[in-house]
């Protein structure tokens, strides 16, 4: 949804969510001769003016656009509080690094954490793959396959021509522990690749952009 700041500030279609183009039954004063209309003066409309969406088939009154924009903003904040996707779980296998800090949620090569100074946990030598980061998309989004979750495996720079970005579906409990609940931050994932759960902010910027794009598509966020 675009950030309008003039005639359509705070407006959005209640049906499709777009906020760029509408048709409104407005009032104006025209100069009229026998040959037709010429110049016109100020154009005005009220909240009860008939309004049509320029993208879909929605029809209503202009005041509905402001109500819809408020609802869309509330939904967006609920699904992405502070701009961070709520219904995702993220994992990192270190990409071949030798140690992991459960406090800072980062993989490092030194034995002592460069962030907090704590001694790091050793990482199995066979861990680390080209699709280092795994983002699991959870929640009841429209179109989700019953019993499945969507996920994306990515390298540090998935948008690079030589980067890795792979989409897939797994069982709904693919990242849950023996008790059936998702593992906590810093805990090993049940993938068997040395992955540990991290927070969204630990993702590289390029991975964040890809994850946000996926998330917005799944949840149909404008």
- pLDDT 10s digit of each residue in the chain, 222 long? 457 889 898 888 988 888 899 999 999 998 899 989 888 888 999 999 999 999 998 999 999 998 888 888 888 899 999 999 999 999 998 887 878 888 888 888 888 888 898 888 887 766 677 889 999 999 999 889 999 999 999 999 999 999 999 999 999 888 888 788 898 999 888 876 788 999 999 999 999 999 999 999 999 887
The pTM of this model reads: 0.72
CB 1 within 8 A of CB 72: yes
Dihedral Cα 202, 145, 190, 168, nearest 10 deg? -60
* Extended strands (E) in the chain: 22-24, 30-33, 36-40, 50-53, 59-61, 88-92, 99-101, 106-108, 121-122, 133-137, 148-154, 165-171, 196-198
Task: Tally Cβ neighbours within 10 Å of residue 122.
Answer: 10
Question: Given this model, what pLDDT does residue 71 score?
Answer: 85
Question: Given this model, what pLDDT does residue 18 score?
Answer: 87
Distances (CA, A) of 211 to 90, 154, 191: 10, 10, 20
Question: Given this model, what pLDDT does residue 192 score?
Answer: 67
Residues in CB range of 190: below 8 A, 6 or more apart: 174, 175, 176, 177, 183
Per-residue pLDDT of 103-132, as tens digits, reads: 888 888 888 888 898 888 887 766 677 889
The full 3-state SS of 126-148, as one line of letters, equals CCCCCCCEEEEECCCCCCCCCCE
Per-residue pLDDT of 147-163, as tens digits, reads: 999 999 999 999 999 99
Closest to 193 (Cα-Cα) out of 108, 125, 98, 109: 125
Question: Given this model, what pLDDT does residue 51 score?
Answer: 96
**What residues are paired with 91 via a beta bridge?**
134, 197
Question: Given this model, what pLDDT does residue 89 score?
Answer: 95
d(CA 72, CA 78): 10
d(CA 222, CA 217): 9
Question: Given this model, what pLDDT does residue 197 score?
Answer: 93
């Amino acid at each position: 949804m675009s950030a309008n700041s003039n005639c359509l500030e705070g407006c959005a279609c209640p049906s499709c969510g777009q906020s760029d183009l509408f048709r409104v039954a407005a009032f104006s004063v025209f100069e009229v001769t026998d040959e037709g209309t010429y110049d016109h003066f100020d154009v005005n409309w009220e909240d009860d003016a008939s309004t049509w969406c320029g993208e879909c088939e929605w029809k209503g009154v202009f005041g509905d656009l402001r109500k819809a924009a408020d609802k869309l903003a509330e939904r967006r904040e609920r699904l992405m509080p502070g701009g961070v996707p709520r219904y995702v779980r993220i994992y990192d296998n270190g990409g071949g690094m030798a140690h992991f800090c459960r406090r800072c949620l980062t993989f490092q090569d030194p034995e002592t954490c460069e962030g907090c100074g704590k001694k790091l946990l050793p990482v199995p030598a066979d861990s680390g793959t080209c699709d280092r980061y795994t983002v699991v998309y959870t929640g009841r989004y429209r179109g989700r396959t019953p019993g499945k979750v969507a996920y994306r495996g990515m390298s540090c720079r998935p948008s690079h021509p030589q980067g890795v970005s792979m989409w897939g579906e797994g069982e709904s409990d693919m990242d849950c522990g023996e008790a059936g609940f998702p593992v906590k931050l810093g805990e090993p994932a049940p993938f068997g690749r040395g992955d540990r759960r991290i927070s969204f902010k630990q993702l590289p910027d390029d991975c964040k952009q890809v994850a946000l794009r996926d998330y917005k598509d799944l949840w149909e966020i404008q």
